[in-house]
Structure 1
Amino acid sequence: MQPLDYDVQPATAERVTDADIMAAVELFFLTKKGVSTHLIDVATHDGIVLLTGIADNLLARERAEEIALLVRGVRGVVNELIISTPDVPDEELQRSVAAALADDPAASGYNVHCTAADGVITAAGTVQSWAEKALVLRVLRGVRGVRRLAADELVIRWGELQNSDEEITTQIRELLDWDIRVHSALVEVRTDDRVVHLSGTVGSAAEKAQVVTTAYRAGAARVDARDLFVAYWALSPELRRTKYADRSDEDIAAAVRATFLYDPRVLSYQPIILVHNGTVTLSGAVGNLRAKQDAERDARAVVGVWDVQNLLKVRTARFIPDDDVTQTIKAALARDPYLGFFDFSVRVRNGKASLYGQVGSHFEQRQAGAVAAGVNGVADLANWVTVAASPGFDGFQAYAPQPNADFALAERIRARYFWSASLHNQAVEVLAEQGRATLTGLVDTWLDRGQAAADAYRAGARYVDNELLVAAEHEL
């Protein structure tokens, strides 16, 4: 994650205290898997969260920061977690890193090479954009045994025709206006010699991070966000109502197409985009399953999109035998820092991969699917990995009715929504019965709808019936 510059001004008069924020962050760590809660210490001062302690791997360090950014009242995160991961010999680690890049459908085409020394990976070479560099670093973080990345020698080779400062500013404004995750009306953008200066106000630290990321994607060489403040009042639904104003189908299609230009997994393909009453239909061919998934995710983040019909077909550039794909998936699962300790069975037939095995949480189950989907040659995926019974808030033990168990589950879900920067002020009703959570009411976006269901699972629900309606779609 790109480091942010946090302001040192005192927080505006918000209705949450540092002690409340710290407790909420620790609660999120406890119920969101992928971080070692017992190894992380949390401190908060004026809404700035300080994370110290130990993370198992680079992905866990990044995930801890992302989780904290999503908590209501957090104005920034200072991540000082150190990495403690099992030693992997340099030669073995270098082979694993090279294999991870070679097996990734997008990164395999980049001019990047790596060396390993005592768990430190030095990446060198050239890429064409900030987004491509971010993708390479993400792949490298996903290799077990990597303690630190050195990327100064991984250079972005801007094209001969570079955007002017004015064009960069315009692109950032347009991307923010169409990004459903950001309320950009209170954000000012100025560019001088490719340095983007951001000022104004956003409602959450996660929004601030998204604004900074957008600036880099649009071509910024550096981003100064010291004057972009996080304030609770900016989350007001009244302020954000204009964000969801009606958009024409033609404008939505153009915005989706523009979003694809900044996604290196989708950029090299040209999906056909049709929009009717806010429903986007994607068709055509892409070269890998991850590109198909990312295209849908990108489209759902565009203002005015109420649903996505993903009809994209995966057509690999060359034939890859099923046995080769099977072995590549197994190797990718084995080197993943979250999954390398589990046993999986993999079957591939005509490019469709089926995963079997047992993991400890829904997070690890989804991670297994994501790893397999990112392997070249996988055209479709059936994730049959199951979650083992476990006690506590993970909630996947065989359910036996207990006094007030459902009441406690519903309260845990409501507590997550209360502390969620995106869900705390939305009309979500929760009913729990025999470990099954039913969600009803209205939310602003499809992203919020999905987040509500994911949080219910993380709070301990065995099953979730998501009957939430998207407000703007409901009004059509």
Structure 2
Amino acid sequence: MILPKHSLASSLIAVFLICSPTIAESSSPTAAEIRSAIKADLKDTERLSENKIEVAVESGIVTLIGTVVSLQDRQIASSIAKRTRGVEAVQNRILVERSARSDSEIQSDVQKVLLINQSVEHPPITTEVSGGTVALLGKVDSLAQRRIAEFAAAGVRGVSEVDNQITVLMSSDRSDEELRAEISALIVQSVYFDNANIDVQVDDHVAKLSGAVGLVTAKERLEQVAEIWGVAAVDVSGVEVDPDKLDDSLRKQRYADVSDESITDAIRRSFEADPYLFSRATGIEIVVDQAKVELSGTVDRSFIRTRAGQLVHGVVGVRRIANQLEVEYPEEKPSDETIIEETQQALARSGHLDRREIRVHCDRAHVSLYGLVDSELEKRVAHSIADGVAGVVHVNNSLAVEAEPSGKSDQQIEKDLNRKLKYALLDRSDQIDVVVEDGVAILRGHVDTWLQWQTAMDLAVEAGAHHPHNMIRDRYHPPHSGMRYFIPQ
């Protein structure tokens, strides 16, 4: 698929790039090199290319200053900085311009997204909006639900800031040791931390994590993993961002130790800890045979089926997944006309899709999306939104990504891709060669995991390559035959 020169894929890569890469060189990049890498990646991002964002770097601390038109743009800029090797923290001082939407319009949309959110619908959350700033008030059962509510509100078109005043109800009687054991297991089984040695201590329901990760994005994800039910707060101040302190032998050992039984246990643990799936976990059957996972059973939302597959992808040792979960809406099924209307309204609320016209068709609860979008990220956001609409059992995403040429020479694409690999991926164990011919990037070499494989692919697209050919071999997830590879959704 051909993507435009400046793409929202920058933000998507930050989602994939939570693993903590080590680097080929022993020396850390200088402040000038970090600043140059971030500036170049900001320029490669369509939504940010017309905004003047200043980047300052001092002692590993990056400060972003400027003005953007949406909260989504502010978040994308921050994600780019956080994924960059050598960055230890990011101070985001970017201001969001006031939207033309009224506070009442924004509040109405925020209330709707919170109402349909599958993790925070009970108990209710109230909202207040002033000048585009949304205040969230209420009580939820976990830190994860609190975070998800903020994420949902931030995705609404016109929101410039979210003031999260939600408090967490401490209704759990789980012991500190139970919490410590579960958090530790979730970290060890995660593909995002397979070479990180993280110590977990829990005292009076406060989780304290220490150790080292390779990127700021990894530190943030680590905090999210620890936000399980029963935890009152998570302290990650003891976690360093230092890729040189990662241990590649841990990754090798963790993949060597997996069995079908351990994979099954890890998947079940992920389901039971997830704020979306925990109440539905018992209805999902998990069968693992030679690291190939099959999910079966019935769930009440298409989004839940998708979420289950995503969680399986994140477990160390999984080679393939067959997601056979069926969707059965438990209440009176909405008509196709109602589903179309609800989907159109949900798409219109999104700050990511504010410049897009997407046509929605529905046949017996099977939704199809048609139209043009700027990037693969916009396509995936639209899919996720439609997937979450009540009554939808399947989404056929026929959105096309506008195929504008990048305008870059082969030499420039190769230079940009090598820079991105250096600052956003490269492990000591990685051996990647890049050749660009007529705009097509050909990647060869070896990486350890599918996560690195996928990230290299996304970075090639972001660099401006057309139809990247990813011939990289995956050491810990070898193809069963020929040149087939594990490609996560």
- State yes or no: 1:356 paired with 2:367: no
Which aligned pairs between 1:237-256 and structure 2 lie closer than 5 A? 237-238=248-249, 240-256=251-267
- Of all paired residues, the percent bearing the same amino acid is 30
> 1:70–1:420: 8 Å Cα contact kept in structure 2?
yes
Q: TM-score, normalised by structure 2?
A: 0.85
Match of 2:167 in 1: 155
The correspondence for 1:139, drawn from 123, 127, 152, is 152
> 1:36–1:56: 8 Å Cα contact kept in structure 2?
no
> What CA distance in whole angstroms lies between the structure 2 residues aligned with 1:51 and 1:392?
26
The structural deviation recorded for 1:218 is 5.7
Match of 1:166 in 2: 177
> 1:314–1:379: 8 Å Cα contact kept in structure 2?
yes
Q: Name the SS for the 2:343 alignment partner.
A: helix
Q: Work out the number of aligned pairs and report it.
A: 453
Which aligned pairs between 1:106-121 and structure 2 lie closer than 5 A? 106-121=119-134
> 1:104–1:375: 8 Å Cα contact kept in structure 2?
no
One-letter amino acid of the structure 1 residue matched with residue 239 of structure 2: L
Higher relative contact order (CA 8 A, sep 6+): 2
Structure 2 CA distance for partners of 1:128 and 1:455, relative to 1, 3 Å: same
> What CA distance in whole angstroms lies between the structure 2 residues aligned with 1:389 and 1:18?
35
Match of 1:321 in 2: 335
Match of 1:373 in 2: 387
> 2:346–2:385: 8 Å Cα contact kept in structure 1?
yes
Q: Name the SS for the 1:259 alignment partner.
A: helix
Match of 2:35 in 1: 22
- CA deviations 1:147-170 (Å, max 9, x no partner) are 222222x222232x4222222222
The structural deviation recorded for 1:61 is 2.6
- CA deviations 1:199-227 (Å, max 9, x no partner) are 23222222222222222236432233233
RMSD: 2.5
- CA deviations 1:283-311 (Å, max 9, x no partner) are 11222222122211111111111222211
Q: Name the SS for the 2:51 alignment partner.
A: helix
Q: Name the SS for the 2:288 alignment partner.
A: strand
The correspondence for 1:191, drawn from 168, 181, 202, is 202
> What CA distance in whole angstroms lies between the structure 1 residues aligned with 2:401 and 2:272?
37
Structure 2 CA distance for partners of 1:467 and 1:107, relative to 1, 3 Å: farther
- CA deviations 1:170-225 (Å, max 9, x no partner) are 22211111111114653222222222222232222222222222222364322332
> 2:41–2:80: 8 Å Cα contact kept in structure 1?
yes
> What CA distance in whole angstroms lies between the structure 2 residues aligned with 1:80 and 1:381?
38
Match of 2:419 in 1: 415
Structure 1: give runs of 5+ residues left out of the alignment: 1-12, 396-404
- CA deviations 1:53-72 (Å, max 9, x no partner) are 22333333333322222211
User: Which deviates more, 424-433 or 322-331?
Assistant: 424-433
The correspondence for 1:437, drawn from 414, 437, 441, is 441
One-letter amino acid of the structure 1 residue matched with residue 308 of structure 2: A
Structure 2: give runs of 5+ residues left out of the alignment: 1-25, 481-489
One-letter amino acid of the structure 1 residue matched with residue 198 of structure 2: V
Q: TM-score, normalised by structure 1?
A: 0.87
Structure 2 CA distance for partners of 1:416 and 1:381, relative to 1, 3 Å: same
Structure 2 CA distance for partners of 1:144 and 1:177, relative to 1, 3 Å: same
Structure 2 CA distance for partners of 1:237 and 1:184, relative to 1, 3 Å: closer
Which aligned pairs between 1:200-211 and structure 2 lie closer than 5 A? 200-211=211-222
Match of 1:233 in 2: 244
Q: Name the SS for the 1:473 alignment partner.
A: coil
The structural deviation recorded for 1:258 is 0.6
